[in-house]
Amino acid sequence: MDPVERALDVALILMRNGGPTALADQAFQNVLKGYGLEGVSTIWRLDSMVACARYGEKSVTIVRRVGPIGINLARASEAAVLGQRVAKGQVDTDDLAAEIARVNAINPPYGRGVRIVAAAFAAAAFSKLAAGDWGAAGIVFVASGVGQFVRSLLQARKLAAAPVTLACGMLSAFLCHLHGSGPAADQWIHGRRFSALPSGRTGTNRARGILVPGPGDRHRVRLRRHHVRSRRARMNIAAIAQSALWAGLFSCGLGILFTSPPRQMARTFLCGLAARLTRDLLMGAGMSINWATVIAAAVLVLVAVAILREQIASPVVLFSGVIPLGAAVAMFRMIMGLVKVSTLQGDALSAASITLSADMGKVFTTTLAIAVGLGAGMAVVRLLRRESVWVGD
Per-residue model confidence (pLDDT) at position 315: 67
* Same-domain check for residues 184 and 258: no
What single DSSP character describes residue 108?
P
* Same-domain check for residues 309 and 365: yes
The residue type of 144 is S
Q: Which domain holds residue 97?
A: 3-104
- pLDDT digit string (tens) for 49-77? 888 887 767 788 888 888 777 778 778 88
% of residues, the chain, pLDDT over 90: 14
* Same-domain check for residues 308 and 240: yes
Say if pTM beats, i.e. exceeds, 0.85. Answer: no
* Same-domain check for residues 150 and 282: no
Exposed/middle/buried for 216, CB within 10 Å: 0-12, 13-18, 19+? exposed
Q: Write the CB contacts of 77 (distance below 8 Å, at least 6 apart in sequence).
A: 19, 314, 315, 316, 391, 392, 393
Residue 294 has pLDDT above 90, yes or no: yes
Q: Is residue 16 part of a domain?
A: yes
DSSP 90-153: SS-GGGHHHHHHHHHTPPPSS-HHHHHHHHHHHHHHHHHHTT--HHHHHHHHHHHHHHHHHHHH
* Same-domain check for residues 268 and 361: yes
* Same-domain check for residues 238 and 381: yes
* Same-domain check for residues 247 and 152: no
Tell me the C-alpha distance between 391 and 27, whole Å.
9
The strand order across the sheet containing 41-44 reads 41-44, 48-55, 58-65
Q: Write the CB contacts of 251 (distance below 8 Å, at least 6 apart in sequence).
A: 268, 269, 271, 272, 273, 320, 321, 323, 324
Q: Is residue 213 part of a domain?
A: no
Q: Is residue 308 part of a domain?
A: yes
C-alpha dihedral over 73, 79, 83, 88, to 10 degrees? 90
Q: Is residue 201 part of a domain?
A: no
- End position of a domain, from candidates 52, 74, 104: 104
The crossing angle, in degrees rounded to 10, of helices 346-385 and 315-322 is 140
- pLDDT digit string (tens) for 202-261? 333 333 333 334 444 444 444 444 444 444 444 478 888 898 999 999 999 988 888 877
